[in-house]
Amino acid sequence: MPEDEAARPRGLAVLDAPSVLGLRPPAPGRVPGARRLPEALRGHRLLERLGAADAGRVEPPPYSPAIDPVTGVRNGAAIPGYSTALADRLEELVRAGSFPLVLGGDCSILLGAMLALRRLGRYGLVSVDGGLDFRHPGNAHLVGPVGSVAGEDLAVVTGRGASQLTDLEGRRPLVADADVVAMGHRTLEPVADEVLATGMTLFDVAELRRGGPAEAAGRALATLAEKGVEGFWVHVDADVLDPEVMPAVDSPEPDGLTHRELVALLRALTASELAVGMQLTIFDPDLDPDGRLAAELTDTVVAGLGPRAGVP
């Protein structure tokens, strides 16, 4: 096996979670294409290149574009059950000593990951995302109406929103504000005042580039260690990449990371003994007809979870 495709020391286990329950439909009558993310990356030999075990699939319920009147979001009645099922499988994997790599789907799968870790103790979150995903009913007058958990996942896991989503198993919040590090977002506006008052640690794109991704990751890791967390989860939304290299996402925004920068960031984060797992979301194979973007994203994931010496 080539050096850049060697398996990481802790046993990687790839789990498919192709839920798009948290997304708006791309067009009337269409289901979001991010549900096909796992097949796209597996098709480029992701498991073989990582030397990872196949942890199977947690199948989501059918998608509906309708807004649930109780929670105020699409599929609001289905997301709690799916999150619990995903948490059950992830808890098994983490307890068994595996390092899960979860292939979404959309960002709403973060509820399942953080629920699993909340059952186990005090765990943090490093959210690597082009947007902060902090929309909730309390700031809707600034950011627009809520409606899709994929744009609200950070707010939900920190306890903001309908109790049916935020208080899974009576464990609200699934992660404390102080135990969150957000990296790679373009801007905090229009909720900067609210976010800065939360106690979350923030590295926007400019800050991440000031000393480089590895340096920023080191600071993030030091912060989490000082907080006393037992470990942390890594959430990666493909829209953290610049649309010049990754246009196949639902909300592309300019000035994102390069593949090289994301590799450096992921290597530094996942090298930590506190890192317990990672998820990848939002890449839409329907917007990648020739498979080139899937191949490049697979290369980045392999490099980001592979050996630490040198960045390709």
Instruction: Assign a CATH topology to domain 3-304.
Output: Arginase; Chain A (3.40.800)
Q: Please spell the DSSP secondary structure of 59-81, one letter per residue.
A: PPPPP--SBPTTTSSBTTTTHHH
- Round the CA-based radius of gyration of the chain to a whole number and report it: 18
Ranking 238-242, 279-283, 284-288, 302-306 by mean pLDDT, the lowest is 302-306
What are the residue ranges spanned by the domains of the chain? 3-304
Q: What does the alpha-carbon distance between residue 57 and residue 72 come to, in Å, rounded to a whole number?
A: 28
% of the chain surpassing 90 pLDDT = 93
Amino acid 81: pLDDT = 98
280: enclosing H helix or E strand: strand 275-281
Asked whether the beta carbons of 276 and 120 are under 8 A apart, the reply is: no
Residue whose structure tokens are 């490099």: 303
Is 59's pLDDT higher than 90? yes
Indicate if the pLDDT at residue 309 is higher than 50: no
Average pLDDT taken over every residue of the chain: 94
Residue range 172-219, pLDDT digits in tens: 999 999 999 999 999 999 999 999 999 999 999 999 999 999 999 999
pLDDT of res. 9 = 43
SS3 assignment, position 132: coil
The pLDDT of 120-136, averaged and rounded, is 97
Using DSSP, state whether 198 is helix, strand or coil: coil
**pLDDT for res 63:** 98
- Closest to 285 (Cα-Cα) out of 30, 41, 16, 17: 41
Question: Cβ distance 181 to 126 under 8 Å?
Answer: yes
User: Closest Cα to residue 261, out of 206, 224, 201?
Assistant: 206
pLDDT of residue 7: 37
| pLDDT above 70: residue 310 | no
Q: What is the pLDDT of residues 97-115, one digit of tens each?
A: 999 999 999 999 999 999 9
pLDDT given at position 307: 52
Taking 60 as the threshold, does the pLDDT of residue 92 lie above it? yes
Q: Exposed, middle or buried by CB within 10 Å (0-12, 13-18, 19+), for 97?
A: exposed
